[in-house]
Chains A and B, each alone.
Chain A
Amino acid sequence: MSWDDAALLALRSLGRRGARSLLAALGVALGTTLLVALLSIAGTADSRIVSQLSHGGPAAAIHVDDAVPDPAGYNSDSLQAGPHRDLDDAALMAIRHAPHVTSVVPVLSTDALVVPCPGRERGSPSAPPACRQPADDYFGALVGADLTRSSELPITVLAGRLPAPGSMTEVAVTQSYVERVHLDVTHPAAVLGSPIELATPQLLPGGNRFRGRWYRVQVVGVVAQTVDSGEFLVPIQQTQVARQWALSGAENQSFRRPTSPYSGLVVVADSLANVHAVRQEIFTIGYANSAPEHLVASVQKYLHVVDIVLGGIGSVALAIAVLGVTNTLLAAVRERWREIGVLKALGAADGDVARWFLVEAGLLGISGGVVGTAIGTAVAGSVALTVNRYLVDQGLQGIDLGGLPVGLLVGAPAAAALLAVAAGVVPAIRAARLPVREALGG
């Protein structure tokens, strides 16, 4: 009897006991669902979070400050800065050429007076949603960065888009600003399109009075960012102009002119393992810096434990499902004694009978595996979306969910089929070795 003859026989046998076959296949499907969902979730955590961190991606970036390092901070994740030190292009180039550095993005932050919804637009019923309730003017910080390299920066767009690189009229705000203008942070898109007037300061000669360089911008995006502390993410050109404006003024004890071309750098190392070495090199060059290297290493270890636990739970579920297949087939052997006897009387060899049951097990496994993989992938996707939404709602960086794990999509049904075939070995052997006369009821 060939394999396709065995498949026909197996299909008909499964169809005859449709409900039982369905239950056995559902058992495999449930086991596969759990395994695929857990592995997908763990895989997402691994490939999207840990790999991003462990490869020194933006989330594990080193923040360099325009200050001399405090030696006490060499082994600390947090910034331990000494006195101010200008951070210029020479320093930037030195750090860029340091070993294991993959990218260096300059940052220039500056203070500004912020006027949400300036003039007659404030409080008007026909105004944009962000301007319908009064909001006070306040001093905030503009974080200027080279937005042509936004992928190398720890920025997540929650709504809208980033300002166009080089734009002097666009700004992205954080959720703090959304809250400040009395909008619901869970619906950040409402702030898009609202106007803001900004004034960057210049100290007038005499050192007692400021004047502002006023300009108007429009909110084009809402972001979560850890580039630097500040509610406004802008192209670095805006803060460079603000710096020039401040430099052309005076200074006093409370207002120092921004002599440093950059207020900070975001440095990405080629791997988590080299973050520490890069930090030491930056210390040697002479700048204070911080990076969540200890945190990332701990997270990595915990996620590995989570992987093991999730994989273990999924494997137990699949093992139970496979035992279900064995049970179903053992019942089938018992039920089909007479048919096995007839087949042997017709000349079926032991191998022919075994093939019948193995193919049946394989069909249960592959059908359950395909269904389980589909459901498991959907569950994992849904969980990942929920987690992503939660992270974003909390103002944290979202996870790049990426595509479907192809290896898992192909491997899971194949593994389920193989396991089911393995589960069918005992029933198949039992059927094959059944004495023919006994099977015929003699």
Chain B
Amino acid sequence: MVSVRGLTHQYGDGPAPLTILCGVDMELEPGGYAAVTGVSGAGKSTLLAILGGLEPVQSGSVLVAGEDVAHLRGGDLARFRRERIGFVFQDFGLLTMLTARENVEVALALAGVPRRDRRDHADRLLGEVGLADRASHRPARLSGGELQRVAMARALANNPRVILADEPTGNLDEGSAGRVMDLLERLRQERGCTLVVVTHNPELAARAERRLRLSRGRLVSL
């Protein structure tokens, strides 16, 4: 499902570019669950961005859900993100002018789901994350845990093969963080998708099937 070979990534074009990833290799089976840890600036988010097609592949090969990410451009890259990937961000990334339901519907609209089907689909997804009664609420009226659950519902909207979560509990208190991770893992199991979580939290990382650590540009299994 996720196959990374010799991935190298640098920032800066000058004589001394900063190498953030240096020959990273990574294999993850379909339905697998990996947690990537590392200090700040180690390149965790960059690795996640490359896997999700948000950052171009500079060197090496990256296969995600059967697609060679290095060779995707423009519209194909957008389609890849739309159909294959579900993102969960630390700061939730919800559009504040839309309700919870409409935030989920945006993802469905981008995938071309007809308007008449979107509402039911969005409500079903919000029901799955336990927010059926909050569908018409705007983000400003939701708690941190609820916001992240809306973001998860949105990430699942188009049945992605891979969920990439960047510090999904970074803005949540301990109780909410635990509930969000429980939900994320349950949804992964129910849907059979691959889950890659980037986190600072060793306890959270310990819940994953595979624990990886990025250090000095290299990925090591723990």
Chain A contact residues, CB within 8 Å of chain B: 1-2, 4-5, 8-9, 12-13, 15-16, 338-339, 341-350, 352, 436-437, 440, 442
- Decide if B14 is an interface residue (CB 8 Å cutoff): no
From residue A184, how far is it (CB to closest CB) to chain B in Å?
62
B78 pairs with A349, CB closer than 8 A: yes
| Complex contacts, A1 vs chain B, CB 8 Å | 109-110
Residue A346 contacts which of B81, B96, B102, B115 (CB distance < 8 angstroms)? B81
Near A by CB (< 8 A), chain B positions 63-99 give: 74-75, 78-83, 87, 89, 93-98
22 contacts between A and B (CB under 8 A): A1-B109, A5-B106, A5-B109, A12-B95, A12-B98, A16-B96, A16-B97, A338-B93, A342-B95, A344-B54, A344-B78, A345-B81, A345-B93, A346-B81, A346-B110, A347-B80, A347-B107, A347-B158, A349-B78, A437-B55, A440-B89, A442-B45
B111 sits at the interface (CB 8 A): yes
Whether B49 lies near A442 (C-beta < 8 A) is yes
- With both beta carbons as reference points, the residue of chain B lying nearest to A336 in the complex is identified as B95
Q: Is B46 an interface residue (CB 8 A)?
A: yes
Within the complex, what minimum Cβ distance (angstroms) separates B62 from chain A?
A: 15
| B contact residues, total (Cβ < 8 Å) | 31
Given contacts A342-B89, A437-B49, A442-B49, contact A347 B95 (CB under 8 A): no
Query: Given B45, B78, B115, which contacts A348 in the complex, CB threshold below 8 Å?
Result: B78
CA distance A352 to B81 in the complex (A): 14
Assess the B74–A350 pair: CB atoms within 8 A: yes
In contact, B106 and A345 (Cβ under 8 angstroms):
no
How many angstroms between the C-alpha atoms of A348 and B111 in the bound complex?
9
Given A2-B109, A436-B54, A440-B54, residue A347 in contact with residue B97 (CB < 8 A)? no
Nearest 4 pairs between A and B by C-beta?
A347-B82, A12-B97, A342-B93, A349-B78
CB closest chain-A residue, reference B96: A16
A15→B55 contact, CB < 8 A: no
Choice from A342, A343, A349 contacting B75 with Cβ under 8 Å: A349
- Collect the chain B residues with CB atoms within 8 Å of residue A13's CB: 97
* Closest B residue by C-beta to A439: B54
B98 touches A346 (CB 8 A): no
Whether A346 lies near B97 (C-beta < 8 A) is no
Task: Indicate if the CB atoms of A346 and B49 lie closer than 8 Å.
Answer: no
- Which of B52, B74, B107 meets A349, CB within 8 Å? B74
Q: How far is the CA of A1 from the CA of B109 in the complex (A)?
A: 6
Given A436-B54, A442-B54, A346:B106 Cβ within 8 A: yes
Give the nearest-CB partner of A12 in chain B. Answer: B97
